[in-house]
Structure 1
Amino acid sequence: MSPLPQLRIGHLQIGSPFVQAALSGYSDWPMRLIARRHGASYTLCEVLLDQFLVTFKDRARNKHFLYLTDEERPVAGQLMGAEPEQFAQGAARLAAAGFDVIDINFGCPVKKVLGRCRGGFHLSQPSVALEIVRRTRESVPANIPVTIKMRRGLDDTQESRDNFFTIMEGAWQMGIDAITVHGRTVKQRYVGPSRWEFLTEVKKQYPTRTIIGSGDLFTAEDCLNMIRTTSVDGVTIARGCIGNPWIFSQCRALAAGQPLPPPPSLYEQRDVLREHFLLAQELYGAERCGPQMRKFGIKFAASHPQHLLVRESFARIKDLSEWDGVLQKWYAEDLPGCYPDPAVHRSTTECA
C-alpha cells in the first residue's frame, strides 16, 4: 500500500492530510488546539461574516473570534458574505489578525445563510463568486494562501454542475491555492450520501491542483478510504471530530500501516475533557465558559459506554465545579471507551 500524500497549501507544507474543518459554533481556539494536540495537521476557525469583521470591535466579549496562538499554526480563518467589496475587507481583517490561510465559504447550506445570498448560494452565480475570489486574492498579502470550500453544486441539475466547474476553473486562474469539495449539493444539506465519485472526477480533471475532500467522514477508516478511492490530497473532518479529537491520531496510525488504536479509555477522555474546559475558561472567562462547554460535553459523551446518561449530565453544567462533578461521577474508573456511533454525528447539522 503506497504512502499517503503530504498535504501542501500554497507555500505551506501542512504534512499529514487529516484536517479539522471549520465548524460554526464549535471550532474555536480550545477545540482547534485540542485537535492539533491529537494529530490534526491544520485547522480552520468557525466561519465568520464579512459584515462582522468589517465592524469588529476588539472587546473582551468578541476576542475569541480572532484568537489564535502559535501552537496551532498553521490555522485558517474562514469567511462568508454576500458582497465582493465587503468580503475583501473582511479577508484583509482576517489576514491582519494573523491567520495563515484565508478560506472562502461557498458551501454553507443553512437556510438563513442562503436567504441572505451567502455561502452555498454563490454556487448559483459564478460571476459574483469569481468577483469575490478576485477581490479576496487581491486584498490578502501574496504570502498568505487563499482557499475555497465548495459543495458539488446547488442541486443536481446540469446548470449547477456547469456553474461548479466555471467557478473552480476561474478560481485556479486567479491564484487560489486549494479547494475543498464536499460531495453533497447545497439542496441536500446533510441528508443522503456524499458522492465521493464526484471527488474522483474533480481530482482527475485537476491532478496537479490541491483538492481536499469532505463529506461522510465519521471514522478513521472513512478518512483513509476517501483518500485511497478518490486520490484527493487531504480530507477535512467536520462533524466526525466534534468531541472526538482522537480521530486524528487514529487516522495517522492507519496511514502508517498500524492497527486502529483502541478508543480512548475513560481516564484518557477525562483528562482531555478537563483540558478542554480549562482552555475554554482561559479564553472566555469563568462565568461564560460553562454554558459554552455544554455542547462539547454532549459530543464527548458519545465515547462513553453510558453515553446517554453522561450526555444528560453535561447538558446541565454551569461551571468548572459542576464539570468536575460529572468527571468524578462518570469517569472515576478507567474503563474502556467506545468509538462514537456515526449516527450521533450525522444528527449534527453545523455549517461545515
Structure 2
Amino acid sequence: MNAFPSAPQLPTLQPLRIGNVPIDFPIVQAALSGYSDLPMRLLARRHGAGYAICEVMLDQFLLAVKKRQKTKHFLTIHPDEAPVGGQLMGAEPEQFAAGALRLVEAGFDVIDINFGCPVKKVLGRCRGGFHLSQPAVAIEIIRRTRDMVPDHIPVTVKMRRGIDDTQQSRDQFFEILDGGFDAGIAAVTVHGRTVEQRYIGPSRWEFLREVKQHIGPDRVVLGSGDLFRAEDCLRMIAETGIDGVTVARGAIGNPWIFAQARALAEGRPLPPPPTLHQQADVMRQHFDLCEQTYGEDRAPLLMRKFCIKYTASHPRMDEVRSSFTRMRSREAFDAALAQHYTEDAPGQYPPREVHRTQSEG
C-alpha cells in the first residue's frame, strides 16, 4: 500500500448519521465475535470511538436467552456507551427478524445484519457470509428485519466483497447491496476480503471505492479490513472516499487507536504509544468492568485473552505475555502488573503481525 498521505492530503472527517442516529466521529469499534462485549465497547467509546457494535449474536440464541446471570450480559448496555449497535446473525428470515426485535427491546440504537462472517461452522449452518451466495434470501432477511424493527431504529448490513472473486460472486454482492438499500437499510459496512479468504491476504480497499461510487454520495458506506494503526483509518477514508471505518482486530487491547485517530483527524501529530503506567491503568479499568459485567469468578479467565493483547503495547511483549497466559485470578493479574508495569517507561505501537488470528465478521 501507499505511504500515509502527508498533511495536506488528510481527509476532513465529517460526523456520520446512520439513519437518525448521530455519530460524532466516523472511526468506530467493529463487532468482534468473542471480544466486543460491554467492557471493550465502553473502553473504545471512552478513548474516542464514535460508535461501537456488540459481538454478533445468533437469532436462535436471542429468542431463547433469559435474564440469567450467565447470559444477561449479552443484552446489557452501559448508560455511557450510547449509541451502540446490536449485530445479528442467522439463517431463516422470519426467525432473524424476531431476533432483531429482541435487540430493539434490549435498547440497542442500531440493528446490524451480519452477512460477512467467514467461519466454517457458521457457513455450514447457512449463516453469516453464506448469505452472499443467495441474494434472494439475503434481501428477504433485510426486508423482514426492516419491517419488524420500528421505523426510528436504523438497520444496517455488514458484508464482505463476495464469496470469492468470480464474476458471479461480484454480481451477487451488488444485487444484495442494491436490494438492501431499496429495502431501507441506513448504511453498509464492507470488508475488503472475500469470505473464501477469511483473514488471509490483503484487504482490497479499491473495492470500497467502487462500492461508494456505485451507491452515491447520499448513502453511507463504512470500510473494514487491515486497520491496525490510527493512520490506516484515515488513509482508508482518503483513498476510497467512504464515509467512515470500523476498527476490528486493531482495537483488541488497543483502545488508544481511537484517540490517536482523532488527533490525526484534527491535524495534530500522532500521539506516542501509551506509557506502561497508562497501559496498566486501562487494563485495571478493563478488569473492573469485566468483574462488574460477569462476576469475580468468571472475570479472570475472560480477561486473559484481552491481557495477552494488551501486552502488544509493551516493549518486552513476548516476556510479558507469558505472565498472562495462565492467569486464573485477580491476584495473578495484579502480580503480573506489579512485575512488568510498576516502573514507567515508553510503550510501543502494537506490531501488525499480532492481529492476524482474531475473528471479525
Instruction: Please give the TM-score of this superposition, normalised by the length of structure 2.
Output: 0.96
CA distance in 1, matches of 2:161, 2:168: 12
Q: Aligned pair 1:295/2:305, yes or no?
A: yes
Give the match's secondary structure for 2:130.
Answer: helix
2:189 corresponding residue in structure 1? 180
Shift of residue 318, structure 1, vs aligned partner: 1.3
Residues 110 and 351, structure 1, Cα contact 8 Å, conserved in 2: no
Q: Deviations over 1:149-183 (max 9, x none)?
A: 00000000011000000000011011100000000
Partner of 1:104: 113
Report the Cα distance in structure 1 between the residues aligned to 2:140 and 2:155, rounded to whole angstroms. 14
Alpha-carbon separation, structure 1, partners of 2:130 and 2:137: 10
Aligned counterpart in structure 2 of residue 121 of structure 1, from 102, 114, 130: 130
Return the offset for 1:349. Answer: 3.1
Q: Which residue of 1 is the match for residue 343 of structure 2?
A: 333
Contact persistence 2:304–2:324 (CA under 8 A) = yes
CA distance in structure 2 between the partners assigned to 1:75 and 1:319 by the alignment: 30
Structure 1 unaligned segments of length 5 or more: list them: none
Identity of aligned residues (%): 64
1:38 paired with 2:47, answer yes
Aligned twin of 2:5: none
* Counterpart-to-counterpart distance in 2, 1:328 and 1:252: 31
* Other-structure match for 1:230: 240
Q: Does 1:142 align with 2:114?
A: no
RMSD over equivalenced CA pairs, Å: 0.8
Aligned: 1:82 with 2:115: no
CA distance in 2, matches of 1:295, 1:330: 17
Residue identity in the other structure for 1:274 = R
Q: What's the counterpart of residue 79 of structure 2?
A: 70
The aligned residue for residue 175 of structure 2 is 166
State the shift of 1:64 in Å.
Answer: 1.1
Q: Which amino acid counterpart does residue 89 of structure 2 have in structure 1?
A: M
Q: Which residue of 288, 308, 314 maps to 1:304?
A: 314
Equivalent of 1:216 in 226, 229, 233: 226
d(CA) in 2 for partners of 1:54, 1:351:
23
Residue 267 (structure 2) aligned to one of 246, 257, 263? 257
Deviation at 1:247, TM superposition (A): 0.2
The alignment status of 1:49 with 2:49, answered yes or no, reads: no
2:4 is aligned to: none
Give the Cα–Cα distance (whole angstroms) in 2 for the partners of residues 71 and 4 of structure 1: 23
Measure how far apart 1:315 and its partner are. 1.2
Instruction: Give the secondary structure class of the aligned counterpart of 1:147.
Output: strand
Tell me if the contact between 2:248 and 2:360 (Cα under 8 Å) persists in the aligned partners: no
Shift of 1:8: 1.4
SS at match of 1:105: strand
Distance 2:73 2:305 in 1: 17
Post-superposition offset of 1:130: 0.4
Does structure 2 conserve the Cα–Cα contact (< 8 Å) formed by 1:6 and 1:15?
yes
Return the offset for 1:322. Answer: 1.3
Q: State the one-letter code of the partner of 1:339.
A: Y
Contact 1:109 1:189 in 2 (8 A): yes
- Cα displacement (A) at 1:5: 2.1
Cα displacement (A) at 1:91: 0.2
- Structure 1: which amino acid aligns with 2:200? V
The residue that corresponds to 2:3 in the other structure is none
Is 1:16 aligned to residue 16 of structure 2?
no
Once residues 12 and 58 of structure 2 are traced to their aligned partners in structure 1, the CA distance between those partners, rounded to angstroms, is 38
- TM-superposed deviation, 1:317: 1.3
Q: Per-residue displacement from partner, 1:178-237 (whole Å, max 9, x unpaired)?
A: 000000000000001100000001111122200000011000111010000101100000
In 1, the alpha carbon distance for the partners of 2:75 and 2:317 equals: 33
8 Å Cα contact 1:45/1:75 also seen in 2 = yes
CA offsets 1:32-60 (integer angstroms, 9 cap, x no match) = 00111100010000000000001111100
Report the 3-state secondary structure (helix = DSSP H, G, I; strand = E; otherwise coil) of the residue aligned with 2:353. Answer: helix
Matched, 1:130 2:139: yes
State the one-letter code of the partner of 1:267.
H
Contact 1:146 1:176 in 2 (8 A): yes
The answer on whether the counterparts of 1:79 and 1:91 sit within 8 Å (CA) in structure 2 is yes
Q: What is the CA-CA distance between 1:69 and the residue it aligns to? A: 1.5
CA distance in 1, matches of 2:210, 2:149: 30
CA distance in 2, matches of 1:166, 1:211: 16
For 1:325 and 1:349, how far apart are their aligned partners in 2?
Answer: 27
